[in-house]
Amino acid sequence: MIELASVGRTYGSASAPVTALRDVNLVIQRGEFVAIVGPSGSGKSTLLNLIGCLDQPSSGRLLFLGEDTSTLNDTKLSRIRNRSIGFVFQMFNLVPELTVYENIELPLVYAGVTRQRRALTTKVLERVGMAHRADHPASLLSGGEQQRVAIARALVNDPALILADEPTGSIDPVSAEQVMELLGELHDQARTIVLVTHNMSVAAVAQRVVRIEAGTINEIGHSPVAETRGPAAQVTAAAISATVE
């Protein structure tokens, strides 16, 4: 589904470049659950932004569904983000002044969906258990609730790929457990999931763990837990509780 070939990403001016990623090669198959782990500043969020077409590589090639993203214009990239990708951020990134409902329907608004909008929005709203908060301003929700709304927004266009950047990083353990359960369910429904975290026990839920350090991938390992998907959720929940405490 996604293929990175010697991808590099450099910020700043030509005279004083800051290298965030260098020579990254990575293939993510359809239906995979991949965790990208690494310490802060290792470049894992940069990698996720590249995969999510929010950013473009400075060098190398990134293929999204077989298409080289550097050849796509802004409209096409926006369409990919809109139709094929659902983002879940650490800070939720809801529009604070909009209501829960309005936040969730945003992708549908930009997709030009009109007739089915209400039905689709309501469906995901119920799925994350936030239907009773539909008309609340997003800014008045707790962190856990906001993250559930963010997941609903990520799901509303039924994307093939879910990108989650430290989705449990800013919420309480119980909410984190719910969020991880939701991600697990989404994976079970054949969605591709790429999760960025610095927390190894969260990463343990994934099938595959990609370690990134100082902008390079230096270790690719398979999670032992992910082999047995069933009880994984409980294991993770316990692990999360332990680390948060």
Size of the site for other proteins (CB under 8 A): 29
- Residue 156 contacts residue 105 (beta carbons within 8 Å): yes
**Which is nearest to 182 in space by CA: 168, 172, 198?**
168
Q: Is 67 in the site for other proteins (CB under 8 A)?
A: no
C-beta closer to other proteins: residue 47 or 209 = 47
Binding mask 96-125 for other proteins (x = CB under 8 A): -xx---x---xx-xxxx-x-----------
Candidate ranges 49-57, 140-148, 213-221, 231-239; the one touching other proteins (CB under 8 A):
49-57
- Binding flag, residue 191, other proteins (CB under 8 A): no
Instruction: Please list every residue from 126 through 165 that binds other proteins, using CB under 8 A.
Output: 153, 157
* Binder of other proteins out of 69, 82, 207, 236 (CB under 8 A): 82
| Backbone torsion region of residue 41, taken as left when φ is above 0, otherwise alpha when ψ lies between -120 and 50, otherwise beta | left
**Is there a contact between 58 and 9 (Cβ–Cβ < 8 Å)?**
yes
91 binds other proteins (CB under 8 A): yes
Shorter beta-carbon distance to other proteins: residue 61 or 83: 83
Q: Binding residue for other proteins (CB under 8 A) from 55, 145, 166, 177? A: 55
**Closest distance between other proteins and the C-beta of residue 110, in Å?**
4
Catalog residues that contact other proteins under the rule CB under 8 A.
Answer: 49, 52, 54-55, 74-75, 78-79, 81-83, 87, 89, 91, 93-95, 97-98, 102, 106-107, 109-112, 114, 153, 157
